[in-house]
Amino acid sequence: MTAQLNPRGDVAVLVPAAGSGVRLGPGRPKALRLLAGEPLLVHAVRRLAEAPSVHSIVVAAPVAEVTAVGELLAPVAPVTVVPGGAERQSSVAAALAAVPAGPAIVLVHDAARALAPPALVESVAAAVRAGHDAVIPVLPVVDTIKEVDGDEMVLGTVDRAALRVVQTPQGFRREVLTAAHAAAADALTDDAGLVEKQGVPVHCVPGSEQALKVTRPFDLALAEHLLATGR
């Protein structure tokens, strides 16, 4: 059954899903790789659609897959599908341009974080609603981190207490994200990086272990285990 989105919601979610996913090995574009029999993108969109604040979802698909992605997602939720770009950033910009009038909050969520729970969507959106221009979900760093030189010789040990691992969905006041993309010069791997360059303060909220990014075959196995055990 197609999940209905909330016409009174104040959140639009952009889903960049146009990457090739070479680190997963040869095969389909990453967002279309199967996790427990369904594409990563289907898992991701299903969870986004369950978040009560979500008004609209815009997916940036690989250019050759726009029609197929539209057909794939039609039974999951009402979504707009646009062709993505050569870089993640241009895929996000293409999706942002297709957001309908209305939502004051825009979240950007990688399709590769297929199991990010609806509660994480809500907590990021709530922090933007509470007055933060930019919000990212983060986890503490658990490993010891070393800085090394080009010869793999240790230069020093970084204080991990001050470090965070950054996830998506990342949330923004709509005008803030639009201005950051309009001003963007270099391609960055996350949207908070763009708004940081504009001098906008970025607020952290607790992330979720379930929002792991499926990048390598090990991550796919871990995500399958989480699904099978109902987490």
Report how far residue 38's alpha carbon sits from residue 219's, in angstroms, rounded to the nearest whole number. 15
Report how far residue 223's alpha carbon sits from residue 206's, in angstroms, rounded to the nearest whole number. 20
Output the smallest distance, CB 188 to ligand C5P, in A. Answer: 10
Would you say 60 or 106 has its CB closer to ligand C5P?
A: 60
Binding residue for ligand C5P (CB under 6 A) from 11, 12, 14, 31?
31
Structure tokens at 66: 């726009």
65 touches ligand C5P by CB under 6 A: no
Output the smallest distance, CB 7 to ligand C5P, in A. Answer: 27
Would you say 86 or 148 has its CB closer to ligand C5P?
A: 86
84 touches ligand C5P by CB under 6 A: yes
111 touches ligand C5P by CB under 6 A: yes
Binding part of the chain for ligand C5P, among 96-104, 107-115, 124-132, 179-187 by CB under 6 A, reads 107-115
3-state SS of 29-65?
CHHHCEECCEEHHHHHHHHHHCCCCEEEEEEEECHHH
Contact footprint for ligand C5P (CB under 6 A): 16-19, 30-31, 60, 84-88, 91, 110-112, 189, 215
